Amino acid sequence: MRSSDGYLVDRFLKLKEERSAYVIAHYYQRPEVQDVADFVGDSYSMALAARETSCQTILVAGVDFMAETAVILCPEKTVLTPEPEATCPMANDITARDVLEYKERYPDSIVVCYVNTPAEVKAVSDVCCTSSNAAKIIEKLPPGARIFFIPDRHLGHNIAHRLNRSIDLFHSCCPTHEEVRLNELLELKRRYPAAKILVHPECRPEVVEVADFAGSTKAIIQYAGSSDADSFIIGTECGILHPLQKANPGKEFILATEDLICPNMKSITLEKMIHSLEHMETRVEVEESVRDKARIALERMIEYSS
């Protein structure tokens, strides 16, 4: 660690204590950001951590929908983002109008909304999900129900295939996970024949099909930790390498392709987190009427996942 990094870490930890702030970070954050967080996890466990902490101030090191989720679940707490421009292009592809138009055509349908969506979209959806619980939630829906899965067509397709169920899909997908391509993956597998392929279900269907395991970031970390294998080809954002290597120093992790970087996740830095706590900004707000409706879909997710 450079001495300037040490200074930033000390400064941040001091501020965190002074503000009694609870810091929640996603596994796709920079290693130094993950290392100063109170909690590091996937979207689902981040939402639960926000709900469970007794701290009144929460700093979310993740993209905007993650901070919004914390606000929706804990409206009485102060939720801060170190970088208000950190967003998810896939989440921004869909609007509440898209959902309402579908509902008008199919009034009896059930809208299952991936957590990667703006609060306004959650507010008009029936139930939220994350990659860790989407299949479990859809399995709990009535067998004959017409389901609209939004906005990730790859995740929706992969779940529909796994459950052998017909699901209507929105057209968006994650530009980072789209970078994992079958030919590169197979080439890596030729070079590392003993390596297990672990991918996120936001990847293309043909990639998920050849993987040894597809799951959320948390599930990938658990799989690698309990597997007898010594090497793994990883098909998700490069931030996950940090917790994987920390927890498994004797194992080898090979990224499926060089371009597995989410620029929005990486736009959060220690400097910005210090600024955020120093000035208690930027506070994330969700309008009350939207918040109350969106909370129903999120609470349903938590209920159906248990």
Stretch that binds ligand SF4, among 85-93, 126-134, 222-230, 247-255 (CB under 6 A): 85-93
Q: Which is nearer to ligand SF4, 53 or 172 (CB)?
A: 172
Closest contact distance (angstroms) between CB of 104 and ligand SF4 is 28
Q: Which is nearer to ligand SF4, 265 or 301 (CB)?
A: 265
| Count of residues in contact with ligand SF4, rule CB under 6 A | 14
- Mutual angle of helices 64-73 and 288-305, in 10-degree steps: 90
Q: Does 174 bind ligand SF4 (CB under 6 A)?
A: yes
Q: Does 270 bind ligand SF4 (CB under 6 A)?
A: no
- Member of 51, 89, 141, 266 binding ligand SF4 (CB under 6 A): 89
Binding track over 183-212 against ligand SF4, x by CB under 6 A? ------------------------------
SS (H, E, C) the chain: CCHHHHHHHHHHHHHHHHCCEEEEEECCCCHHHHHHCCEEECHHHHHHHHHHCCCCEEEEECCHHHHHHHHHHCCCCEEECCCCCCCCHHHHCCCHHHHHHHHHHCCCCEEEEECCCCHHHHHCCCEEECCCCHHHHHHCCCCCCCEEEECEHHHHHHHHHHHCCCCEECCECCCCHHHCCHHHHHHHHHHCCCCEEEECCCCCHHHHHHCCEECCHHHHHHHHHHCCCCEEEEECCHHHHHHHHHHCCCCEEEECCCCCCCCCHHHCCHHHHHHHHHHCCCECCCCHHHHHHHHHHHHHHHHHHC
Q: How far is CA 112 from CA 117, 176, 204, 209, in A?
A: 11, 22, 20, 23
Stretch that binds ligand SF4, among 33-41, 173-181, 209-217, 291-299 (CB under 6 A): 173-181
- Member of 42, 68, 126, 237 binding ligand SF4 (CB under 6 A): 237
Q: Does 116 bind ligand SF4 (CB under 6 A)?
A: yes
Binding track over 133-172 against ligand SF4, x by CB under 6 A? ----------------------------------------
Q: Which is nearer to ligand SF4, 63 or 286 (CB)?
A: 63
Closest contact distance (angstroms) between CB of 62 and ligand SF4 is 8
Q: Which is nearer to ligand SF4, 16 or 27 (CB)?
A: 27
Output the CA torsion sign for 88, 201, 257, 94. negative
Stretch that binds ligand SF4, among 13-21, 141-149, 262-270, 272-280 (CB under 6 A): 262-270
- Member of 136, 175, 229, 251 binding ligand SF4 (CB under 6 A): 175
- Member of 29, 53, 176, 276 binding ligand SF4 (CB under 6 A): 176
Q: Which parts of this chain interact with ligand SF4 (CB under 6 A)? A: 28, 63, 88-90, 116, 174-177, 237, 262, 264-265
